[in-house]
Structure 1
Amino acid sequence: MVKTRIVVYPTIFIHDSETDALTVIFPDVPSAISQAATLGKAMLNAQEVLGLMLYDVQDLPTASSLEQVQADYPHDQVQLTAVDLSTVAKDSHVPTNQIL
C-alpha cells in the first residue's frame, strides 16, 4: 500500500502587465516562489515548487482559507494547489539531510 501525504495550499498568480509573465506565490509558504509565461506552466510550477519546499518538512504550515487569501489579493487569480509530498520525496534526488 502506497502512503500518500497530500497537502493543499492557496496559491496566488500575479500577472505582470509589463512582461506578461505570471509570478506564483504562497502566502503560507513564503519561500515557495515561481514564475512562468503561461497560466498552464505557472500551475505546474506551483505544484513543483510547493512540493520541493515542503516534502521534508515535519510541521507543515497551516493553510489559510481560500476566501481570506482572495480578499487579501482581490486583483489576482487565487486558487488551491495540491501536491502529494510522498511522491515528491520519492522523486527527489537530494538527500533530506544534505544542505545545498
Structure 2
Amino acid sequence: MAKPQIVTYPAIFSSEKSSAAINVRFPDVPDTITFGMNEAEARSYASEALGLALTIRKSLPPVTPVEDIDLSANEYVVMISDDLTRAAKEVADYDKDILK
C-alpha cells in the first residue's frame, strides 16, 4: 500500500439564512467548491473535493495562513485535510471504470 500524502488547507464555510446548506470554498484552490447540509457533511465533502482537485494539479498551491484570510460576517475557517494518495487511487479507479 502506498504511503499516505496528507495535505491540509483552510476552507471557508458559510451559511445563508435562506438555506440550511453550508457552502465551502478554498481560497488556495478557487475552482473547488462544495456544500453540506450540516457541518459534518460539509467537512466530509470538502475533504473529498480538496483531494480530487489537488490530485489533478501539477503542483500544490501554497497554503494561505488563516490570519491572512478575509471573512464576511457569516463565514468561518475550517482546516480540511485529505490523503492525496487515496484521492489519486480514486481518480485512477474512476478512469478505469469509464474506459471499460
User: TM range, normalised to the smaller chain?
Assistant: 0.7 to 0.9
Asked whether the 8 Å contact 1:32–1:53 carries over to 2, the reply is yes
When structure 1 is superposed on structure 2, of 72-81 and 25-34 the one drifting more is: 72-81
Q: Is residue 36 of structure 2 the alignment partner of residue 30 of structure 1?
A: no
Q: Aligned-pair distance for 1:2? A: 2.9
Structure 1 portions without partners, runs of 5+? none
Superposition RMSD in Å: 1.9
User: Identity, % of aligned pairs?
Assistant: 34
Q: Distance in 2 between matches of 1:36 and 1:56?
A: 23
Q: Distance in 2 between matches of 1:14 and 1:45?
A: 14
Q: Is residue 47 of structure 2 the alignment partner of residue 47 of structure 1?
A: yes
Other-structure match for 1:4: 4
Q: What's the secondary structure of 2:35's corresponding residue?
A: strand
Q: Aligned-pair distance for 1:26? A: 0.2
Structure 2 portions without partners, runs of 5+? none
Q: Aligned-pair distance for 1:82? A: 0.8
Counterpart of 2:71 (choices 66, 70, 73) is 73
Which amino acid in structure 2 is aligned with residue 37 of structure 1? M
Deviation string, structure 1 residues 23-48 (Cα, Å, up to 9, x no partner): 10000001110011111100001001
With normalisation by structure 2, the TM-score equals 0.84
Other-structure match for 1:90: 89
Asked whether the 8 Å contact 1:54–1:85 carries over to 2, the reply is yes
Q: Distance in 2 between matches of 1:57 and 1:4?
A: 17
Q: Aligned-pair distance for 1:94? A: 3.6
Q: Aligned-pair distance for 1:3? A: 2.0
